[in-house]
Amino acid sequence: AQTVTQSQPEMSVQEAETVTLSCTYDTSESDYYLFWYKQPPSRQMILVIRQEAYKQQNATENRFSVNFQKAAKSFSLKISDSQLGDAAMYFCASRAGGTSYGKLTFGQGTILTVHP
């Protein structure tokens, strides 16, 4: 079984500044994947970044990067140079590995507000 916890219901950041969203997880799987999804008011879920648990190197996608601490079961998302378009609900999620398929387990989400 997998659980994902996001302890920050809301976060805010000034445009062009950096913000970090927290996520912790628990899993009995030895192989798993971690994801951050963005959900703007349109409801469309958009994948921001993914991390394979067997990789020690933290994933990076342009202004988005993660701090993956496997022993601590922590998976935080850092957004650099925040933009107004980054405002959304952000969800951390996990999935068991071993195959390309399987259900995602989501956290409760963090609402990110970006101030101009």
Partner 1 sequence: GAGVSQSPSNKVTEKGKDVELRCDPISGHTALYWYRQRLGQGLEFLIYFQGNSAPDKSGLPSDRFSAERTGESVSTLTIQRTQQEDSAVYLCASSSDYYNEQFFGPGTRLTVL
Task: Closer to partner 1 by CB, 13 or 96: give it.
Answer: 96
CB–CB of 32/26 below 8 Å? Answer: no
* 10: DSSP letter: E
Among 8, 45, 73, 80, binds partner 1 (CB under 8 A): 45
Query: Does residue 62 belong to the site contacting partner 1 (CB under 8 A)?
Result: no
Angstrom distance (rounded) from CA 115 to CA 12: 7
Query: Does residue 107 belong to the site contacting partner 1 (CB under 8 A)?
Result: yes
CA atoms in the 13 A half-sphere facing the CB of 53? 21
Phi, psi of 86 (to 5 degrees): -80, -10
Region near partner 1 per CB under 8 A, out of 19-27, 43-51, 55-63, 73-81: 43-51
Query: Does residue 73 belong to the site contacting partner 1 (CB under 8 A)?
Result: no
Task: Closer to partner 1 by CB, 13 or 38: give it.
Answer: 38
Burial label for 30, CB within 10 Å (0-12, 13-18, 19+), is exposed
Binding site for partner 1 (CB under 8 A): 4, 6, 33, 42-47, 50, 91, 93, 95, 100-109
